[in-house]
Amino acid sequence: MDKVEQAYAVAKERYGEVGVDTDAAMESLRRPSLSIHCWQGDDVAGFESPDSELSGGGIQVTGNYPGKARNVEELRMDIEKLLDLVPGSHRVNLHASYGEFGGKRVDRDAIEPAHFTGWIEWARRRGVKLDFNSTYFSHPLAESGYTLAHGDPEVRKFWVEHGKRCRTIGAAMGKAQGDACIHNVWIPDGEKDYPVTRYRRRELLRESLDEMFAEELPAEEVKDAVESKLFGIGSEAFVVGSHEFYLAYAVSRGKIVCIDMGHFHPTEVVADKISSILQFVPELLLHISRPMRWDSDHVVIMNDDLRLLGEELVRSGRIDDVRLGLDFFDASINRLGAWSVGARTTLKALLAAHLQPLARLSRFEAEGNNFARLALTEELKSLPLGAVWDYYCRTEDTPVDGELIEAVAEYECTTLSRRV
């Protein structure tokens, strides 16, 4: 027995004492797939032109660490490396701006499934499934701060057409992979200062979305999700697509609600929303992220927000109805390192949640013994989660935590540092 196995044997016994089966917890962790965002690899730049970069939309990437993926080959190479560093089998989430346009300028209202055949074939070869997002930022027609709720019907028409085409692309992906592609819609629309036409803007958004979603597409191929936001840089006073707007929209139109952890008031507990929303919709999409004072999209770490999220996913019994999308981007450190730490930590938080003695905790609660509930949840926090996690990584043929720094450094040395 090596150290990882020895530590696991002790952890298994220790967890057993509090009523937790570590093997069963690892088995449960194998099931869900993360929908891993492609945009951590190139700072949300995409491939529309050789010098594309993220602009507008109130989202921002900071940092200029060397080694960013400059083209589709490099991005795929980095994602493949990432998938080797993350235990389990996962999906890859693309944005419309990541199509392969063969050096031509193809505007957003003209993109087609053909621009994504490279990705579809790559995904099939790699055995991963794809999710998709329409892209309503980094474009001249988004510069005013409005897209689907723009005052000019011509501009709205352009973005509605983009959304329709993205749904078709999503359906092509879903069909090819034999599993529905989740097509997520997030728009930046909003204002720096107080508008007087809030009602009209939201009416426009409702109309644009209805038009965009008018065509019924097979649910086994594509399902649409809508992502709300509270504020962004340059949209501090007003965001058209607020939480209330999209929650009501999704419930009334049978769409998936997307909850991004950075899109709420900093004191709101995002995990608490799961059990409310899932009373009324069959499925939920999460954008797992880490806001730091604002929607800063920091790399996900093991903080209370993430732990609570994992716990709620497990405690609600509805984890299978929740899509686990990642959404963070840090350009100030090694991007593969950022990606792998965020993805692995998300899984580790789920493992921690599966390592709860749920039956015992619920029994204490039912008996009104809230002291015992408190004491046991506190005890759980210092049980040997890391030993179970490392063993899980080992069984999945991925580095254990102590091997990650070196694995990332090696890739930096052989590959990323040569990108100059």
Shortest distance in whole angstroms from residue 231 CB to Zn ion: 14
Ramachandran angles phi, psi of 69, nearest 5°: -70, 130
Tell whether residue 229 is a contact of ligand RNT (CB under 6 A): yes
Say whether 243 is catalytic: no
- Tell me, rounded to whole angstroms, the distance of Cα 256 from its chain centroid: 14
Binding segment (CB under 5 A) for Zn ion, from list 13-21, 140-148, 280-288, 362-370:
280-288
List the interface residues with Zn ion, window 308-327 (CB under 5 A). 327
Tell whether residue 287 is a contact of Zn ion (CB under 5 A): yes
Q: What's the distance, Cα to Cα, between the start and end of the chain in Å? A: 44
Say whether 273 is catalytic: no
* Annotated active-site residue in 119, 159, 186, 389: 186
Type and span of the H or E element at 34: strand 34-37
Question: Of 295, 279, 275, whose CA–CA distance to 287 is shortest?
Answer: 295
Nearest residue (CB) to Zn ion, 90 versus 373 = 90
Alpha-carbon dihedral 23, 24, 26, 28, rounded to 10 degrees: 170
Nearest residue (CB) to ligand RNT, 133 versus 346 = 133
Where are the alpha helices (H) located in 178-220, listed in sequence order? 198-212
Shortest distance in whole angstroms from residue 265 CB to ligand RNT: 15
The residue of the chain with the least Cβ separation from ligand RNT equals: 186
- Cα–Cα dist 286/169, whole Å: 21
Say whether 229 is catalytic: yes
Shortest distance in whole angstroms from residue 297 CB to ligand RNT: 6
Say whether 321 is catalytic: no
Encoded one letter per residue, x for contact with ligand RNT by CB under 6 A and - for no contact, window 241-260 reads -------------------x
Residues 389 and 351 sit within 8 Å (Cβ to Cβ): yes
Nearest residue (CB) to ligand RNT, 59 versus 204 = 59
Say whether 297 is catalytic: yes
- Cα–Cα dist 137/412, whole Å: 30
Determine how many CB atoms are found less than 10 A away from the CB of residue 394.
17
* Annotated active-site residue in 42, 48, 131, 297: 297
Shortest distance in whole angstroms from residue 208 CB to ligand RNT: 18
CA-CA distances (angstroms) from residue 4 to 17, 23, 30, 393?
A: 20, 15, 19, 10
Q: Binding ligand RNT by CB under 6 A: which of 191, 221, 327, 412? A: 327
Q: Binding ligand RNT by CB under 6 A: which of 35, 97, 133, 177? A: 133
* Annotated active-site residue in 164, 263, 298, 354: 263
Tell whether residue 191 is a contact of Zn ion (CB under 5 A): no
* Annotated active-site residue in 227, 311, 312, 390: 227
Question: Where do the DSSP E strands lie in 211-349?
Answer: 222-227, 238-239, 256-260, 284-288, 290-292, 294-298, 322-326
Residues 389 and 401 sit within 8 Å (Cβ to Cβ): yes
- Which of Zn ion, ligand RNT, none does residue 295 bind to, with CB < 5 to 8 Å depending on kind? ligand RNT
Shortest distance in whole angstroms from residue 359 CB to ligand RNT: 37
Question: What token pair was written down for 299?
Answer: 């790399």
Tell whether residue 260 is a contact of Zn ion (CB under 5 A): yes
CA-CA distances (angstroms) from residue 282 to 41, 214, 311, 332?
A: 32, 21, 19, 38
Say whether 260 is catalytic: yes
Say whether 255 is catalytic: no
- Which of Zn ion, ligand RNT, none does residue 231 bind to, with CB < 5 to 8 Å depending on kind? none
Say whether 401 is catalytic: no
Shortest distance in whole angstroms from residue 248 CB to ligand RNT: 20
Q: Binding ligand RNT by CB under 6 A: which of 44, 79, 204, 230? A: 44
Output Rg (C-alpha) for the chain, integer angstroms. 22
DSSP 9: H
Structure-token match 């980095």, residue found: 78
Size of the site for ligand RNT (CB under 6 A): 11
Residues whose CB is less than 8 angstroms from the CB of residue 147 and which lie 6 or more positions away in sequence, other chains included: 136, 141, 155, 156, 159, 187, 188, 189
Q: Binding ligand RNT by CB under 6 A: which of 34, 59, 72, 326? A: 59
Tell whether residue 189 is a contact of ligand RNT (CB under 6 A): no
Q: At what angle do helices 401-414 and 72-85 cross, to 10 degrees?
A: 160
- Which of ligand RNT, Zn ion, none does residue 133 bind to, with CB < 5 to 8 Å depending on kind? ligand RNT
Nearest residue (CB) to ligand RNT, 263 versus 373 = 263
Q: Which residues are catalytic?
A: 186, 227, 229, 260, 263, 287, 295, 297, 327
Task: Give contact residues for ligand RNT (rule: CB under 6 A).
Answer: 39, 44, 59, 133, 186, 227, 229, 260, 287, 295, 327
Task: Give contact residues for Zn ion (rule: CB under 5 A).
Answer: 260, 287, 327
